[in-house]
Amino acid sequence: MKKMSLAKGSNKRMKRIALFPGSFDPITCGHTEIVQRGLAIFDEVFIGIGVNTTKTPTFPTGKKVQWISEIFQGEARVKVGIFSGLTVNFALSIEATFILRGLRAAPDFEYEKNIELLNKHLAPNIDTVYLVSSSTTGHISSSLVREVLRFNGNLKGLVPDIILQEISQQKI
């Protein structure tokens, strides 16, 4: 049987930290479901908001951090932070040994496969773990949410309530 890894010099098991990287522009009910399910597998899920200097997000990064912090304020095992550069470098810096990603359909897998191979090449000790979206969230994407928002459609069930409230109060 495979031995559990032990922290150096102690008999304590090493904390299993998973980095959940993405743009979260904005965070959706699809993302939150992956985080919740990730908590059943990992000790900590770190939501990493990737900042891409060549792409301007729809929502300011500070707003994304605020939303995510509020959504998971009762869950100490969920952390949030911003990063730029290589995902694996950020994962190493927060001592994550897993990268968590969600899969909606085959195109997601096609996209993820090469990134996973590259990440494995760059950081052999980090494994990517995929969770397949449930039938209730598999249709949700941040880009569709932005499209619905643009035409004043109803976002209930697509984004967490806190974002809905801000929209109804016209704070965004």
Binding region for ligand ADP (CB under 6 A): 22-24, 28, 30-31, 34, 101-102, 104, 108, 133, 137-138, 140-142
Q: Which amino acid is at 172?
A: I
Judged by CB, which is closer to ligand ADP: 36, or 141? Answer: 141
- Give me the least distance between CB of 155 and ligand ADP, in Å please: 14
Q: How far is the CB of 3 from ligand ADP (least distance, A)?
A: 30
Q: Which of 104, 120, 141, 146 is catalytic?
A: 104
Phi-psi region of 5 (alpha: psi -120 to 50; beta: other; left: phi over 0): beta
Catalytic residue among 55, 121, 150, 171: 55
| CA angle 162–168–169, rounded 5-degree value | 90
Alpha-helical (H) ranges within 23-152 are 29-39, 61-71, 87-93, 106-122, 142-150
- Catalytic site residue 104? yes
